[in-house]
Structure 1
Amino acid sequence: MNATTNGTTNGTTNGTMNGTMNGTLGGIVDSTRAELMRLRKWPAVWIVVGAWLALSLMFGYLFDYLAYRSGDSGFSNEGETKAQLLAGLLPPAVPDVMVQGLPMFGGALVMVLGALAAGNGFAWGTWKTVFTQGKPRTSVTIGSLLAVSAFVVLVMLVSTVLCLGCSSLIAATEGHSLTMPGLGDVARSFGGGLLVLEMWALLGFAAGVLAKGPALAVGLGLVWLLVVENLLRGVGSLLSVVDAITHVLPGTAAGSLVGALVGKAGGAPGVLVDISGGRALVTVVAYVVALVGLTLVVVRRRDVA
């Protein structure tokens, strides 16, 4: 009788646990698919992605190539010789070109993407409807985070292909041999750039959840990234206490990680060497983990109305 009771109890417990795990996993998969469909059909998402690709093309290749062909000096080449300009446009320079605009311009745009994805879940009443139908909040939120992350990966993939294509075209046009960059260098830049974009996208997503709407989240996020952090770094050059604080800010971590990848500061707005590459990497990863945790806790505990 004891054996029968124990067997029944264990079977019921295991079945309940397996059912719960399968239900949670299924909820995450369903939520991810739904969010991917929503983002894929949303024009604003493709405008953000297109804006980044256009900026990457202009500041990475177009302006420098025009300066190279014309021989004019300007803001885009900072007094570099024609030979130096051309070297930066050829395929071996792709690992540097593909990440140099990420700390500021790329980060700002994916932060807008994250804020829109989360904020409009509240503004349109989407999450309120889903939650009141009994969908677990954690599953829905994780699914939305995964969908945004998938678009971040897409942005990095398309950026890499665009840079390789543009540099190869320039090499062919200028009669240079097609020497592709090392796979390890491309992979290292891709991974670092992906972490930077993921951090900013999650920061925008968390802001959208906290603000319960897209407008305030986008506005505050852009002001922080483009204005506040730059002002703090300026004050930090005068006050050691503020300088220490700036070393743990997301913009400093992102800029220093890219600075470590390209081997120098400057060249593009937001690229820094304020902290070491290893410390920057740890800081960016810490922000990614912390922002995911913060988002899940806030969604679970707050009223979505």
Structure 2
Amino acid sequence: MFPDIHAEIGVQARRAANWLLLATAIALTVTFAYVIPYAGYKGATEGPGSDLTPMLTGNFAGSAIGGMPAFIGALALIHGVLIAGSDYAWDVWKTILVQQPSRIRVFLAKVVTAALGCLVLVVVLFAVSAAASLAVTTAEGGAVAWPAASGVAEGLGAAWLITSMWALLGVFLAVALRAVALPVGIGLVWMLAVQNLISGLAAPLLDWVDALQAWLPGGAAGSLAASLGAREDTPAVAELTGPAQASLVLTAYLLVFAIAAGFLLRRRDL
């Protein structure tokens, strides 16, 4: 198993697309969690734009996790699609499996690699967010006060769970559709369009849709992010339920996506 994981990590580490996804995530976090809000703060006299608190060191974890229910999560989904779908695009599945004792072992290596990639993403974004928060706090002459280590660890765990769930959705779509482009398109349409239509259009009109939101992957991810300090004016972030229920829902989706993808890969002809 470990040689399979090592080989898969080596393949993904050499892919420029994965590093581009990481760079994009950093740029989005810095721009929309710090640069634009800080510019708005400096130019605002009152209203939401005048609130500096989310950008200070004590709240850096909330700023780091804020984009994960939608935009950063979309990048994690693309990461998962690339890991599982590229072997279909390159037509190398048969070559790989001829050298392996089982499809499941190869698949589990891909799942572990996707999760480790999300862990790297989360750790880097938390470090970048901490540095940006320190810069803002210092620039404004505020006292540097970091959150408790337990709170940071909780935020890291929640962020890893959210991004891993989206990555496993990408893995499932790639295996189900045996492609790269179509799974990416379907995943992004769901995350960036359908979720917003449900929350912004259907939920205010239909009570059962409003109640259903908390049980959907995007709603659960947004609830967990909001409970850990993410700004609720961030797209897809809204505290629809408590952190315990949100974590259980996300874990259930992660397991369902992984099991369904493994089942399809094992049962279908390549």
| Shared fold (TM-score, shorter chain, > 0.5) | yes
Aligned to 1:189: 155
- Structure 1 spans left out of the alignment, 5+ residues: 1-27
Q: Does 1:31 align with 2:4?
A: yes
Q: Does 1:298 align with 2:267?
A: no
List structure 1 segments (4+ residues) > 6 angstroms apart after TM superposition.
none
Report the AA paired with residue 120 of structure 1: S
Q: Alpha carbons of 1:48 and 1:238: their partners in 2 closer, same or farther (altered >3 Å)?
A: same
Q: Does 1:173 align with 2:146?
A: no
Report the AA paired with residue 56 of structure 1: T
Q: Which protein has the larger Cα radius of gyration, Structure 1 or Structure 2?
A: 1
Distance across 2 between alignment mates of 1:185 and 1:104 = 22
Q: Does 1:246 align with 2:219?
A: no
- Structure 2 spans left out of the alignment, 5+ residues: none
Report the AA paired with residue 44 of structure 1: A
Report the AA paired with residue 48 of structure 2: G
Q: Given the alignment, which residue of 129, 134, 143 partners 2:109?
A: 143
| 8 Å CA contact 1:122, 1:128 repeated in 2 | no
Instruction: Let me know the Cα RMSD of the aligned residues.
Output: 1.8
Single out whichever of 119-128 and 51-60 deviates more from structure 2: 119-128
The CA deviation at 1:172 is 2.5
Report the AA paired with residue 17 of structure 2: A
The CA deviation at 1:196 is 0.6
Q: Given the alignment, which residue of 223, 226, 229 partners 1:259?
A: 226
The CA deviation at 1:263 is 7.3
Deviations 1:119-151 (A, max 9, x none): 111111222211133441011000011111111
Distance across 2 between alignment mates of 1:230 and 1:142 = 32
Write the mapping of 1:1-305 to structure 2, written as runs, cut at 5 A. Answer: 28-69=1-42, 71-72=43-44, 79-81=48-50, 84-85=51-52, 87-233=53-199, 234-262=201-229, 266-304=232-270
Deviations 1:99-128 (A, max 9, x none): 111110111110011111111111112222
- Over the matched positions of the two proteins, sequence identity in percent amounts to 30
| 8 Å CA contact 2:70, 2:192 repeated in 1 | yes
Report the AA paired with residue 147 of structure 1: T
The CA deviation at 1:78 is 5.6
The CA deviation at 1:230 is 2.2
Partner SS state of residue 247, structure 1: helix
The CA deviation at 1:210 is 0.5
Flag the structure with more relative contact order, 1 or 2, with Cα contacts below 8 A and sequence separation at least 6.
2
Single out whichever of 216-225 and 234-243 deviates more from structure 2: 234-243
Partner SS state of residue 260, structure 2: helix
| 8 Å CA contact 2:226, 2:239 repeated in 1 | yes
| 8 Å CA contact 2:66, 2:230 repeated in 1 | no
Partner SS state of residue 65, structure 1: helix
Q: TM-score, normalised by structure 2?
A: 0.93
Partner SS state of residue 88, structure 1: helix
The CA deviation at 1:154 is 0.2
Q: Alpha carbons of 1:232 and 1:295: their partners in 2 closer, same or farther (altered >3 Å)?
A: same
| 8 Å CA contact 1:113, 1:201 repeated in 2 | yes
Distance across 1 between alignment mates of 2:106 and 2:166 = 21
The CA deviation at 1:244 is 3.8
